[in-house]
Structure 1
Amino acid sequence: PPNATIFPPKDLMDTLLDLYFRHFAPFLPVLDRSSFEIAYKDGLHLRSIPFANILLLACAIASQYCDDPRVWLEGIGRPSAGWSYFMQVRDSTSRSYASATLLDIQSYVMIAYFLATSSRLHSAWTVVGMGIRSAQNIGMHRRKSRKESPLWKDEQHKRVFWCLIALDRHISSALGRPLVCKDEDFDLDYPLEVDDEHWGASVPDSSSAVTSRQHHGVPSEVSYLVASARLSQILAFTLSTVYSISKSKVVLGFEGDLWKQHITSELDSKMNKWFDAVPDHLKWDPSRQNDTYFTQSAILFASYYNLQILIHRPFIHPLNKHSPSLSICTNAARSCSHVVEILLKRSTQTPVFILSPVFNSGVVLVAAILSAKKDVTSVDSRANMKALELCMTFLERAQEM
């Protein structure tokens, strides 16, 4: 029963939940804060295993942003932050014939994220697959045919499914594994760019129509999820074309110099359109005051530069140090390092979504430095060395977290 679970003390619980909604929710908005807090205060976690799981997972994730030693396992320290809560999460869908609920699918997102931040990316990839299949089983991946205003429940489903898609594409590209869900497998609209506090009612009923809009002049934190979703669609197209296995390339005709020119040109065009469509509050600005928008922007543009690298990296010629693809990848890697440089100065956190872009940038910079080893004193070589040092510093900090 849920009451056998060991939850954090009340003071620590309140701190962790505040940290969760400040540091995690703006990037993967799987929970509505107002309805979640009402359920928590009503003691639902003492009666419901699925909600107890959600609460434990929120505490586990938030522990990574908390300096209170009570969130650590005894004798291990900071690397164990949150594991005492995570290990208590139970499978509420253990019967294979039981359809998952919204709470179950939300928990898949949170489990996958926690595993990804704990150097267990392979396990996270598997959990994301389970989450997507469970979501598809209840129709979460399909656009609703209603003509009236969308229901609050539908908006919650859209957010959660797009969070799963974002994780699927980020983790699959990092591991070099196939996507669980491709664009042709779902037709879901993007979430409405309306923050929780701007809905018409403080806690909408799951069947109530959404009539509220984001207040004029107030940027929405959900805009990040939408921009990330748009970028992930370009990533998915890249993985299914540039990185498809050789057999598929032969069958689909993805071969030859003309195809390479065509596909890189098409992908570059998609990237330019995405760049131009980024909302003003998410455009890269190192001096941006709002910390949430700054971090959202940093992750978006690190991901953007990483995707540039992924698009052009396969076309780098090892014997041609003047390869256009190498130049494009090197410039993207340097740009990513500039984002990292500001992050190192402004924040002690190392967002998990930036680790793969930073690693890929570092590899490209090493290749660029080696290709110019006879001219290590050039301006470009010095710039590449500085950028590489920034990437290494960021990864070293992440290792300590």
Structure 2
Amino acid sequence: MHSTSSSGDSLPDINSEIPGDDDDCIPLAGGATSREELLAILPPSRYCDALKDVYFRVFSPLFHILHDLTFEAEYQQFCHDPNSVSTAWISLLFIILGIAVTALHDDDPLLSDLGRERTVIRNVKALSSRYRSASLRCLSADGILSRHSINSLQSLILINYARLHRGLPTWTLLGLTHHVATSMGCHVDPERFALGPIEREERRRAWAGLTMLYNTHNNAYGILNPGLATMGTKLPLDVNDVDLLTGTASELSTPRPTQMTYLLLQYRLYNVSSMICESLFSFPPRYTPAQLEVEILSVHEMCEKRYQLEPALEPPPVHHLANLNILYSYIHQLLLLLLRPALCRYLQGDVTTETCAARVKCLASAKTSLTIHQTLHESPQFASYKWYNSNQGSFHAFHAAVILCVMLMYPESAHEAAEIKELLWKSLDVFAALSNRSTFCSKAVPVLRQIIDAACSNTPQYRQPQPQVQPQQQQQQQHIMSPSPVDPSPHPNMTMTMTMTPSMNGGLLTPTTPTGSSGFPHSPMEFFTESLLARLQPQNWLSPSSVPWDGWDCLFLLLSPSPTSAQFVG
């Protein structure tokens, strides 16, 4: 039985009342704004202080392209004398404010003090757009087309990062950023230049961040691009900023996660994601699913090694735990994307050792993805990550929920079906709770509710046990089985264990498949299931913007006694 919070038919259309989210200026625009006019856009100093601190507490550990200590020193100098910094540095400050405002809590007084909109989501959109636009104006005033500096490059990269997370177009600005980075020689390893350790790492971090943004964009749009050309640029060191100041930077002396650990692990996952997309959308594929699964497992093992969540050790800071959950969420997303073809073959009746193994792995990853989504929502320590959980995290969870709904049509056992139903209803509650800040969630709630209703009302189809997974493959599956979410707060139902082994008892079941010479389903439920499987095509699950929202209402009409009984709100 699900809670009443998810029992309504629809949620209000928040898009109808949200101000424009796009930026009203690009660096190519003429009529540069004066320095005084730009400084006048800044909020009062106490708000700048608060937003800066939010950025370096939440976002800097996720996308660590700045040297925090250097920026802090420059910020203090700016507070003492606003004329002591360049216009490019002011641009960097503006984009830091624009990113930080998205992490504010719903009841944070900064939102109501700085914004004049009626709702939280309106204030967040208006403020973030205001500061992004101001950042772009600063770059225009600084002459970005002819003058480049590390601050202007960092600002451009962060503007792209912010726009990407807001679901805004980035391609043109990303191209400009790439050319600025190349003109500065960031595609060449900085060891060739006479630079200090901080300057070298700032360049490497900038190039790594730009490469990640390119990979993210290419994967989201199915662009099979080899990536940015480079001349031996090394990855940034896995060290803390203070080590670069003291000259003690050594990756061998940092057994616990550093400020750079997350970015480096995510960098590897983005590369694996590119490999998966290339294999899914090209023929013949360069990599086999088994090879790509090994790559994912390798990053998973790196996560375990670097974050060391052992009961005997002191837990890492909250931001490291949040980062680890985000890494795990992405790992499960990649597993679901990779194993999709084999899972669909299983659901369509092709029951083999390979497809049975894919079902086991997809079931485990989908369940854990929803649990991570719920943990990030419910744990107070993760409240500052609502911006992630309501967008990218919700995209991963929606992907997992749709897969579980399809599996619910053909469960392995009554116990498995009950477990999936409970998890799905809880997930729907989370989506509903996040809808006040998320356009994605407001669209997902009515769709997910209808899918869950359809899956739960279906009479499960069971068959005799099918061939079992070989012991060696079973051991590999259990090893890659998804780590449990990490919750920093004591909770009787949450553990710090890093593995989740699925039940291997009972037979694996063959779904009911179409019969007859026509090859088409004969009942509305069969047609519904086949249509739902068609929506599991990988191109629909590359990014939040690639999810198809149209046509769900027509799909649900198939299960309604009459057209008027389908109460769907798109």
Tell me which residue corresponds to 1:387: 423
Give the whole-Å Cα distance in 2 for the aligned partners of 1:383 and 1:285: 28
Give the whole-Å Cα distance in 1 for the aligned partners of 2:231 and 2:433: 38
Give the whole-Å Cα distance in 2 for the aligned partners of 1:151 and 1:232: 26
Distance 1:170 1:399, change over 3 A: farther
Tell me which residue corresponds to 2:48: 13
Q: Following TM superposition, by how much is the alpha carbon of 1:332 offset from its aligned partner in structure 2, in angstroms?
A: 1.3
Tell me which residue corresponds to 1:128: 174
Tell me which residue corresponds to 2:386: 350
Give the whole-Å Cα distance in 2 for the aligned partners of 1:400 and 1:88: 26
Q: State whether structure 2 residue 162 is matched by structure 1 residue 107.
A: no
| Contact persistence 2:187–2:233 (CA under 8 A) | yes
Partner SS, residue 103 of structure 2: coil
Moved over 6 A (4+): 147-150, 284-287
Q: State whether structure 2 residue 241 is matched by structure 1 residue 196.
A: yes
Summarize deviations over 1:299-346 as a string: whole Å, max 9, x none. 111111111112122442252385443443232111212222322222
Tell me which residue corresponds to 1:232: 270
Q: How many residues end up aligned between the 2 structures? A: 377
| Contact persistence 1:54–1:107 (CA under 8 A) | yes
Give the whole-Å Cα distance in 2 for the aligned partners of 1:211 and 1:375: 55
Higher RCO structure, 1 or 2 (CA under 8 Å, sep 6+): 2
Q: How does 1:278-357 map to 2 (within 5 A)?
A: 278=303, 280-282=305-307, 288=315, 290-315=317-342, 316-317=344-345, 319-320=348-349, 323-324=355-356, 325-346=358-379, 347-348=382-383, 349-352=385-388, 355-356=391-392
Give the whole-Å Cα distance in 2 for the aligned partners of 1:141 and 1:398: 40
| Contact persistence 2:370–2:400 (CA under 8 A) | no
Tell me which residue corresponds to 1:270: 295
Partner SS, residue 234 of structure 2: coil
Tell me which residue corresponds to 1:151: 197
| Contact persistence 2:153–2:180 (CA under 8 A) | yes
- The structure having more radius of gyration, on CA atoms, is 2
Summarize deviations over 1:131-159 as a string: whole Å, max 9, x none. 23432333313334549997321211111
Give the whole-Å Cα distance in 1 for the aligned partners of 2:193 and 2:132: 41
Q: Following TM superposition, by how much is the alpha carbon of 1:9 offset from its aligned partner in structure 2, in angstroms?
A: 0.8
Give the whole-Å Cα distance in 1 for the aligned partners of 2:400 and 2:67: 40
Tell me which residue corresponds to 2:261: 223
Q: State whether structure 2 residue 44 is matched by structure 1 residue 2.
A: no
Give the whole-Å Cα distance in 1 for the aligned partners of 2:272 and 2:196: 27
| Contact persistence 2:241–2:259 (CA under 8 A) | no
Q: Following TM superposition, by how much is the alpha carbon of 1:27 offset from its aligned partner in structure 2, in angstroms?
A: 0.5
| Contact persistence 1:365–1:384 (CA under 8 A) | no
Q: State whether structure 2 residue 115 is matched by structure 1 residue 73.
A: yes
Distance 1:115 1:400, change over 3 A: farther
Give the whole-Å Cα distance in 2 for the aligned partners of 1:235 and 1:144: 27
| Contact persistence 1:99–1:138 (CA under 8 A) | no
Give the whole-Å Cα distance in 2 for the aligned partners of 1:394 and 1:45: 44
- Paired residue type of 1:24: F
| Contact persistence 2:153–2:181 (CA under 8 A) | yes
Q: Percent identity?
A: 16
| Contact persistence 1:141–1:188 (CA under 8 A) | yes
Summarize deviations over 1:83-114 as a string: whole Å, max 9, x none. 33223223526868526422222112221232
Q: Following TM superposition, by how much is the alpha carbon of 1:241 offset from its aligned partner in structure 2, in angstroms?
A: 2.1
Q: Following TM superposition, by how much is the alpha carbon of 1:219 offset from its aligned partner in structure 2, in angstroms?
A: 3.4
Give the whole-Å Cα distance in 1 for the aligned partners of 2:165 and 2:316: 26
Distance 1:243 1:269, change over 3 A: same
Tell me which residue corresponds to 1:212: 249
Give the whole-Å Cα distance in 1 for the aligned partners of 2:215 and 2:237: 21
Summarize deviations over 1:266-294 as a string: whole Å, max 9, x none. 11111222222225453678994520110
Q: Following TM superposition, by how much is the alpha carbon of 1:200 offset from its aligned partner in structure 2, in angstroms?
A: 3.3
- Paired residue type of 1:108: L
TM-score normalised according to structure 1 size? 0.81
Give the whole-Å Cα distance in 1 for the aligned partners of 2:308 and 2:436: 29
- Paired residue type of 2:223: P
| Contact persistence 1:132–1:181 (CA under 8 A) | no
Give the whole-Å Cα distance in 2 for the aligned partners of 1:132 and 1:314: 35
Q: Following TM superposition, by how much is the alpha carbon of 1:192 offset from its aligned partner in structure 2, in angstroms?
A: 0.8
Q: Which runs of 5+ in 1 are unaligned?
A: 202-209
Tell me which residue corresponds to 1:205: none
Distance 1:391 1:114, change over 3 A: farther
Tell me which residue corresponds to 2:134: 88
Query: Which deviates further from its counterpart, 264-273 or 185-194?
Result: 185-194
| Contact persistence 1:169–1:236 (CA under 8 A) | yes
- Paired residue type of 2:221: G
Give the whole-Å Cα distance in 2 for the aligned partners of 1:373 and 1:77: 39
Query: Which deviates further from its counterpart, 285-294 or 191-200?
Result: 285-294
Partner SS, residue 142 of structure 1: coil
Tell me which residue corresponds to 2:221: 176
Tell me which residue corresponds to 1:207: none
Q: Which runs of 5+ in 2 are unaligned?
A: 1-33, 438-570
Give the whole-Å Cα distance in 2 for the aligned partners of 1:221 and 1:354: 24
Q: How does 1:45-56 map to 2 (within 5 A)?
A: 46=83, 48-56=86-94
1:63 pairs, out of 91, 98, 101, with: 101
Give the whole-Å Cα distance in 2 for the aligned partners of 1:366 and 1:40: 46
TM-score normalised according to structure 2 size? 0.59
